[in-house]
Amino acid sequence: MIYVYIAVMAIVTYLIRMIPLTVFRKKIENKYIKSFLYYVPYTCLTAMTLPAVFYATGSLASAAAGMAVAIILALKERSLVTVAAGACVTVFVVEQVLHVMA
């Protein structure tokens, strides 16, 4: 029975991803729809990051520090890997420091 649940989940998820990718093969001409789709990645990623990132680590402080470093590196237009690694290292270091201080 669990396999049926897994299959249903996989099918629903795939259809949601697949239909908009195959049906809309012609370039969209409408200015407003194009604009909406242009903004979607940025608003979606932002909504997923804030405020969730602050609760992703062991403490609010380490998460905030990691986020701050990521933003600084991104403002300097460093690569994806550098920004992500900078955030990780910062969280790790801050948590170690907090641990020692505690």
In order, the DSSP letters of 2-41 are: HHHHHHHHHHHHHHHHHHHHHH--SPP--HHHHHHHHHHH
CB of 100 to another protein, least distance (A): 12
Q: Using the rule CB under 8 A, is 9 a contact of another protein?
A: yes
Q: Using the rule CB under 8 A, is 20 a contact of another protein?
A: yes
Q: Using the rule CB under 8 A, is 60 a contact of another protein?
A: no
Token pair of 26, please? 């012609």
Stretch 61-80 residues interacting with another protein (CB under 8 A): 62-63, 66-67, 70-71, 73-75, 77-80
Site for another protein (CB under 8 A): how many residues?
76
Q: Are 98 and 63 in contact (CB under 8 A)?
A: no
| 77: region left, alpha or beta (phi > 0 left; psi from -120 to 50 alpha) | left
Given 81, 100, 101, 102, the residue binding another protein (CB under 8 A): 81
Given 5, 100, 101, 102, the residue binding another protein (CB under 8 A): 5
User: Which amino acid is present at 31?
Assistant: K
Q: Using the rule CB under 8 A, is 97 a contact of another protein?
A: no
